[in-house]
Structure 1
């Protein structure tokens, strides 16, 4: 009889150990999810700050470009002035279009997230899924826009620089 009681106690201890282990695993999983969430939030905040800073620098670059470009009007060959202006306008249009897309995308996301939060039948996990879809769409569109912005901005800058170099040669020679 004693052996049976010991066996039952051992079984109960094993069950208890398994329950305890499962509980620890769940706690670890929750802690990992919280850490991931905190990391994602930090990354999103850093991206937002970096994006704002980059936008300020880019806008300052466009302001400087158009100020230098304006000086070239009537002082450099027309094809340089027109080509550099068109290139810069294409670059600026790509940049502004992407920023408008981000505003539109973020606004739609916030509206849809609000609907999910208000509807108790829907899971809050839907918000994370919607955000992932939004981020993927933004990245795809960003790849197109960044190349367009940089390439045409560089072409315009090179042409303005060429106009100034041409003017310098005319002054020196």
Structure 2
């Protein structure tokens, strides 16, 4: 009888150890699953953020270019009514804003070109071409989006300064003309 009880105790002990091992393995599987899901979520959020930021930057670039066209058109239309200092100051600020904008776009184009030439050179040594291109595109978008703000601030600042100085000097020229008609 003691022998049977001893064997039953051994079986129970083995079952308890196995249950503990199974529980540990289940915990490890759950932790790995959570890690994979977290990495997937971070990757998806990075992609969404990168694409949204790129779309916003593209839209802003279109607005800025339309603003330049409008400002230079207004500047050429009002040039006979504005004093030379106002014309030069407004034109200088608008041109400086345009230089910041174009300089950033050229640097971005060069960076992206160099980055993608390296990507396509490195693709010869890999089997997972799609994920490699996607990974490089995401990192490239993140870098260019972070640098974009450094061009955006001076571009907008000098553009608005040029626009407001143009309006101000036009106002200064408009006041004497209006006073002739009022008197």
TM-score (norm 2): 0.80
Distance 2:141 2:46 in 1: 15
Q: Which runs of 4+ in 1 moved over 4 A?
A: 127-134
Q: 1:78 is matched with which residue? A: 84
Q: 2:162 is matched with which residue? A: 156
Which of 160, 164, 178 does residue 172 from structure 1 map onto?
178
Which of 38, 45, 54 does residue 39 from structure 1 map onto?
45
Which secondary structure does the structure 2 equivalent of 1:52 belong to? helix
For residues 108 and 120 of structure 1, do their structure 2 counterparts lie closer, same or farther at Cα, with a shift above 3 Å needed?
same
Distance 1:171 1:84 in 2: 21
Unaligned runs of 5+ in 1: none
Deviations 1:12-39 (A, max 9, x none): 1211221122112112211121122111
Which secondary structure does the structure 1 equivalent of 2:99 belong to? helix
Distance 1:54 1:147 in 2: 12
RMSD: 2.6
Distance 1:31 1:167 in 2: 65
For residues 8 and 117 of structure 1, do their structure 2 counterparts lie closer, same or farther at Cα, with a shift above 3 Å needed?
farther
Unaligned runs of 5+ in 2: 1-6
Distance 1:143 1:51 in 2: 9
Q: How many residues align?
A: 170
Which secondary structure does the structure 1 equivalent of 2:93 belong to? helix
Q: Is the 8 A contact 2:94 2:158 kept in 1?
A: yes
Structural mapping, 1:59-138, within 5 Å: 59-120=65-126, 132=139, 135-136=142-143
Q: Is the 8 A contact 1:94 1:148 kept in 2?
A: yes
Distance 1:146 1:138 in 2: 11
User: 1:115: Cα distance to partner?
Assistant: 3.4
Structure of higher CA gyration radius: 2
Q: Is the 8 A contact 1:75 1:167 kept in 2?
A: yes
